[in-house]
A and B are shown apart, each in its own frame.
Chain A
Amino acid sequence: MEKAKKRQFGIIATIVLAAVIVLGLMWATATANRNAEHQDTLARVEKLGRIVWGVKADTRLFGLMDTKTGISQGFDIDIARALTVQISKQTGVPMSAEFVPVSTASKMQLLKNTNIDGSVSTMTITPEREKIIDFTNQYFDAGQSILVKKDSGINSIKDMNSSKYTVIVVVGTTAATETAKFAPKAKLLAVQDYATGMQALKSGQGQAMSTDNAILYGFATENPEYHIAGGTFTHGPYGIAFDNNQKPMIKETNAALATIKQNGIYNQLIKKWFSHVPGLDWRSLEAK
Chain B
Amino acid sequence: MALLQNNFPTFLQGFGYTLLSSIIALIGSMILGTGFAIMQIVPQKWAQVIGNVYVQVFRNIPLLIITFFFFLVVSKYVKMSGFTSGTVALMLYTSAFIAETVRAGILAVDGGQMEGARANGLSFGQAMQYIILPQAFRIALPSLGNQFINLVKNSSILAFVGGLDLMYQGNMVAANTFDTFSTYIIVAIFYLILTLPLSYYIQHLERKLKRAL
On A, residues with C-beta under 8 Å from B are 25, 28-29, 32, 104-106, 108-109, 128-129, 132, 171-172, 176-177, 189-192, 196, 199-200, 202-205
Binary contact track B172-184/A, C-beta < 8 Å → 1, others 0: 1011101011000
On B, residues with C-beta under 8 Å from A are 68, 71-73, 75-76, 79, 81-82, 159-162, 168, 171-172, 174-176, 178, 180-181, 185
Contact residues in A for B68 (Cβ distance below 8 Å): 196, 199
Decide if B180 touches A108 in the complex (CB within 8 Å).
Answer: yes
**In the complex, which of the residues A105, A190, A192, A203 contacts B76, with contact meaning CB atoms closer than 8 Å?**
A203
List of 3 A-B pairs having minimum Cβ-Cβ separation, nearest first = A172-B175, A189-B162, A109-B180
**In the complex, which of the residues B73, B175, B178, B181 contacts A203, with contact meaning CB atoms closer than 8 Å?**
B73
Contact residues in A for B79 (Cβ distance below 8 Å): 204
Interface of B is mostly: helix
User: What CA separation (Å) do A227 and B175 show in the bound complex?
Assistant: 28
Decide if B168 touches A32 in the complex (CB within 8 Å).
Answer: no
Q: In the complex where A190-B171, A190-B172 touch, is A32 in contact with B178 (Cβ < 8 A)?
A: no
Q: In the complex where A109-B180, A189-B82, A191-B162 touch, is A172 in contact with B71 (Cβ < 8 A)?
A: no
Q: Report which residue of A104, A109, A176 has the largest number of chain B beta carbons within 10 angstroms of its beta carbon.
A: A109
A109 to chain B, nearest CB (A): 4
Decide if A105 touches B171 in the complex (CB within 8 Å).
Answer: yes
B85 to chain A, nearest CB (A): 9
Decide if A199 touches B72 in the complex (CB within 8 Å).
Answer: yes
Q: In the complex where A32-B181, A108-B180, A191-B162 touch, is A204 in contact with B174 (Cβ < 8 A)?
A: no
Q: In the complex where A108-B178, A189-B162, A196-B160 touch, is A171 in contact with B76 (Cβ < 8 A)?
A: no
